[in-house]
Structure 1
Amino acid sequence: MPGSPATMKTRKKNDKKAEIEDLGGVLGGSGAIGIGIRHRPEELATLAAKTRFTRKEIQMIYRGFKQECPTGYVDEDAFKHIFSQFFPQGDASQYAHYVFNTIKHKQTSGRINFEEFLTILSNISRGTVEDKLQWVFGLYDLDGDGLISKDEMLDVVGSIYEMLGRYTTPQIIEPHVAAREHVDRIFHLIDANKDGFVTIDELVQWCSKDEHLLRSFDTLDTVL
């Protein structure tokens, strides 16, 4: 039989407390690294409301996050270490640097917390095509001036080839040569007004014409 209203209220408070502790209560144990300050994430319900992940998915993501980042923060070196585990066949450090910059672009501390990590992951994996294109544009716009130059595109594409390493088909012996050929082939197609720069509007217009490319954005969705 259900308990009294007071008992039910206490039970709900305990359930909520358990959810919070599942996220924040185990941060920064004896093995904490880096600066002694530890970040306690927001409540689970708040994170679920702010992102496109369910509570269960957030709990799963957080378990992996806190294992690598027990202080609740991740800096660029830690991010590169995590990223490299997904691409052991090549050198992912430079691409990880560019990706990390898209996450911390509003930060001055050089570190990101779990909420920031979860938000960008939500936008990339579960966001709209517009969300994903905005992220892609930010990835290539290295200096943040709202324009992608050919050199910026070459730097990022080159880092992708370096990251993929021997898993490219056919295998690429000289990644930077292949990157330059790739950029030479497509940059002028995206740069509609031929001014030597790509804007977000030009990127959206070019991508919208390629159904295969648009479908490929669905593969960014994270299955948890």
Structure 2
Amino acid sequence: MKARKSREKKGELEELGGVLGGSTAGALALGGRHKPEELSTLAANTRFSRKEIQLIYRGFKQECPTGLVDEEAFKQIFSQFFPQGDASQYAHYVFNTMKRKPSGKISFEEFLTILSKVSRGSVEEKLQWIFGLYDLDGDGLISKEEMLDVVGSIYEMLGRYTQPQIVEPHLAAREHVDRIFHLMDANKDGVVTIEELVQWCSKDEQLLRSLDTLDTVL
């Protein structure tokens, strides 16, 4: 029994050391696990340093030992950061911006790529991600109802930490959307395009500064 556990532990250490140290051996899949790309490749394709990727990977593997995460697991991870409210719906929307596989699961590479764009990307990349977050049906347009759904989920997630504290999140969300949607919809056709979003955001210095706070210092 001890010998088997020792072999399992050795295998895990070899995978972690190999993948994050850049050796080819570490990129081999163990059992049914997903095999991440080598550290050098991940560093070249993202805006994270090798050390930052190592730290992110360790946390990812701790929560997702198979190397893949489905939506339910993602919601559980996300909810740990927002225990004061209900983050499940917003986590669903965020997960949909990452999901690429028919299986409905995301790999470490996909997670890292999105995280890199959102935290270290240009203003344009960040706004493109935000647009994709609100464009729930993927038709290239944001309707007022789509914006209401996402804003409502944000208020639900923030819970009692909103200032002032919001008693009815969905009512507050509707008031917020009613206040800004018509300002974003420059041609008044009832939907917001990526161009209209960029134009509106470029006029708001406070919002542009808030995009910088998405940067992650590890």
TM-score scaled by length of structure 1: 0.86
CA contact (8 A) 2:74 2:95 kept: yes
Give the Cα separation in 2 of the matches to 1:154 and 1:88: 22
Give the Cα separation in 2 of the matches to 1:137 and 1:190: 12
Provide Cα deviations, 1:129-155, integer angstroms capped at 9, x if missing partner.
000000000000000000000000000
* Alpha-carbon spacing, 1:175–1:16, altered in 2? closer, same or farther (3 Å): closer
* Alpha-carbon spacing, 1:207–1:196, altered in 2? closer, same or farther (3 Å): same
Displacement after TM superposition at 1:17 (Å): 7.4
CA contact (8 A) 2:19 2:38 kept: no
- Residue of 205, 210, 217 corresponding to 1:216: 210
Displacement after TM superposition at 1:181 (Å): 0.1
- Residue of 155, 160, 171 corresponding to 1:161: 155
Please name the residue that 1:11 is paired with. none
CA contact (8 A) 2:19 2:26 kept: no
Displacement after TM superposition at 1:108 (Å): 1.2
Please name the residue that 2:5 is paired with. none
Give 1:126-205 correspondences, 5 Å limit. 126-205=120-199
Larger-gyration structure (1/2)? 1
Give 1:7-86 correspondences, 5 Å limit. 19-20=21-22, 24=26, 37-86=32-81
- Residue of 108, 111, 114 corresponding to 1:114: 108
Displacement after TM superposition at 1:24 (Å): 5.0
SS in 1 for 2:213: helix
Give the Cα separation in 2 of the matches to 1:151 and 1:18: 43
Give the Cα separation in 2 of the matches to 1:49 and 1:138: 25
Matched letter for residue 80 of structure 2? Q
Displacement after TM superposition at 1:107 (Å): 2.3
Displacement after TM superposition at 1:71 (Å): 0.2
Please name the residue that 1:103 is paired with. 98
CA contact (8 A) 2:93 2:136 kept: yes
Give the Cα separation in 2 of the matches to 1:143 and 1:46: 32
CA contact (8 A) 1:84 1:91 kept: yes
Structure 1 segments of 4 or more deviating over 2 A? Answer: 15-18, 23-28
Give the Cα separation in 2 of the matches to 1:135 and 1:222: 16
CA contact (8 A) 2:89 2:153 kept: yes
CA contact (8 A) 2:75 2:91 kept: yes
Displacement after TM superposition at 1:56 (Å): 0.1
CA contact (8 A) 2:118 2:129 kept: yes
Give the Cα separation in 2 of the matches to 1:77 and 1:215: 32
Provide Cα deviations, 1:10-51, integer angstroms capped at 9, x if missing partner.
xxxxx9777047x957987xxxxxxx6211111100000000
CA contact (8 A) 1:20 1:43 kept: yes
SS in 2 for 1:117: helix
Matched letter for residue 21 of structure 2? E
SS in 1 for 2:97: helix
Please name the residue that 1:12 is paired with. none
CA RMSD, 1 decimal: 2.1
TM-score scaled by length of structure 2: 0.88
CA contact (8 A) 2:22 2:38 kept: yes
- Alignment size in residue pairs: 202
Matched letter for residue 95 of structure 1? Y
Give the Cα separation in 2 of the matches to 1:184 and 1:145: 22
